[in-house]
Amino acid sequence: MELKDFLLWLAGSSGASIAMSWILERIPAYVQIAVAETKRWIFFGACVLMSASAYAVITYVPANVSVFTGSGFHKVDRIVTPIEVVQTEIVQTEEMGSQGSQG
């Protein structure tokens, strides 16, 4: 996936929702908010901001800018994705183990 493809995905509502959900779940202050309506508005605002930002970059940044022509994003994507998959698998395995010992 190239950076432009990723930005197109973020500019859509589902891409922004998935990415923002992933980001916000890792912020302890957001997770600790007790009022569901407050969390909903924060999530909504963050999704709109992320989607609008991605759209603005796609629309207003000239195509010849090195952000779109470089392969740096592709290299980062190939490194970060496997690490996140392994960390998610470890957390899920630990949760399953703790649930098994409780029952």
Per domain, the residue ranges of the chain are: 1-68, 71-103
pLDDT at 98: 62
Token code pair at residue 35: 């009022």
CB within 8 Å of 2: residues ≥ 6 apart: 68, 73, 74
Residue with tokens 């949760």: 95
CB-CB contact of 46 with 19 (8 Å): no
pLDDT at 42: 94
Q: Which residues of 82-92 are buried (b: 16+ CB within 10 A; e: fewer)?
A: eeeeeeeeeee
pLDDT at 44: 94
Task: Flag whether the pTM goes above 0.75.
Answer: no
Tens of pLDDT along the chain (103 residues) come to 677 888 888 898 888 998 898 899 889 999 999 899 999 999 999 999 999 998 998 888 887 776 555 555 555 556 656 665 555 555 556 666 666 555 5
